[in-house]
Amino acid sequence: MNLLEQKFTPETWPEHPETYTQEGKNKFIGFWLFLAGETVLFASLFATYLALKDSVPNSDHALAADIYSLELVFIMTAILLTSSLTSVYAIYHMRNYNFKQMQLWFFITVLLGLSFLALEIYEFTHYVYEYSFTFGSSAFSSAYYTLVGTHGAHVCFGLGWITALIIRNQKRGLNLYNAPKYYVASLYWHFIDLVWVFIFSVVYLMGMLG
């Protein structure tokens, strides 16, 4: 009798399962509000980064144009954008009540996210060992690592979240209780992606070009 645990077929499955129940609607609205707050959070980080860019103690310290490598960042961008696409596929399958496919595409999303993270860790260690560009070496480096690192932490959290959803629901399939959860997790993933697009252009492109 509990709507949340009811079993469905592709025919009876509602068109927008994520907002079908009151709980789902609340999650949907609440999560968008949360993302609005996150937007202000990242805006603050970007503002600080721009204010402190290339602000270093002496001329020996590396500057933006010295260290960024566009090839690496370009690959990272491509990977993360692809992962956004795969999460769209996953949600598409959720709407069609195709649980197996949804899990598969979320799994691929996680794999892509992991490879992004691996490249980011490589990037950071490269900066530290090649250029002595550490968290505390200058105001510029602090602002850089806080901005890009906060994004990285969000990626980590998102990966943990989606993985937990995949494992938790593996046995029982889709219902109106977990559909909104998958949906907001994918929203979160898109948001992370969008932030990266800004990091790519504001930090890396502008860092290389001007």
Partner 1 sequence: MSTIAVRKSFLSTVWEYLTTVDHKKIAHLYLGAGGFFFLLGGLEALFIRIQLMKPQNNFVNEQLFNELMTMHGTTMIFLAAMPLLFAYMNAVVPLQIGARDVAFPFLNALGFWLFFWGGIFLNLSWFLGGAPDAGWTSYASLSLASEGHGIDFYTLGIQISGFGTLMSGINFLATIITMRAPGMSFMRMPLFTWTTFIASSLILMAFPPLTISVFYLIFDRLFNSAIFDVTLGGNTIIWEHFFWIFGHPEVYILILPAFGIFSEIIPTFSRKRLFGYSSMVFATILIGFLGFMVWAHHMFTTGLGNVANAIFAVATMAIAVPTGIKIFNWLLTMWGGSIKITVPMIWALGFIPSFVMGGVTGVMQGIAPLDYQLHDTYFIVAHFHYVIIGGVVFAIFAAAHFYWPKMFGKMLSEKLGYVTFAFFFVGFHMTFFVQHFLGLMGMPRRVATFLPGQGLDLYNFISSLGAILMTIGVIVLLVNIVITSMSKQQVANDPWGDGRTIEWALPSPPPYYNFKQLPLVRGQDTWWLEKMEGNKELPPAEPLQDIHMPKGSILPFFIALGLFIAGFGAMYNPLNQVGDGHPMGTVVLIFGLAMTFGTMLLRSLRDDLGYYIPKEELEDDDAKGGKVS
Shortest Cβ 156–partner 1 spacing (Å): 10
- Report the residue from 6, 26, 69, 96 that binds partner 1 according to the rule CB under 8 A: 26
Element (H, E) at 176: none
d(CA 18, CA 104) in angstroms, rounded, equals: 19
Contact assessment for residue 159 and residue 79, using Cβ atoms and an 8 Å cutoff: no
- Report the residue from 59, 100, 136, 210 that binds partner 1 according to the rule CB under 8 A: 136
Shortest Cβ 51–partner 1 spacing (Å): 6
Shortest Cβ 99–partner 1 spacing (Å): 17
Please give the size of the binding site for partner 1, defined by CB under 8 A.
42
* Selection from 191, 202, 180 nearest residue 36 by Cα: 191
d(CA 112, CA 115) in angstroms, rounded, equals: 5
Asked if 162 is part of the footprint of partner 1 (rule: CB under 8 A), the reply reads no
- Report the residue from 164, 170, 201, 208 that binds partner 1 according to the rule CB under 8 A: 164
Residue nearer to partner 1 on the CB measure, 74 or 160: 160
Buried-exposed string 12-25: b where 16+ CB fall within 10 A, e elsewhere: ebeeebbbbbeebe
d(CA 107, CA 206) in angstroms, rounded, equals: 34
Asked if 44 is part of the footprint of partner 1 (rule: CB under 8 A), the reply reads yes
d(CA 9, CA 40) in angstroms, rounded, equals: 41
Shortest Cβ 201–partner 1 spacing (Å): 20
Amino acid at 166: I
- Positions in the binding site for partner 1 (CB under 8 A): 2, 4-5, 22, 25-26, 29-30, 33-34, 36-38, 40-41, 43-45, 48, 51-52, 55-57, 135-143, 145-146, 160-161, 164-165, 168, 177, 181
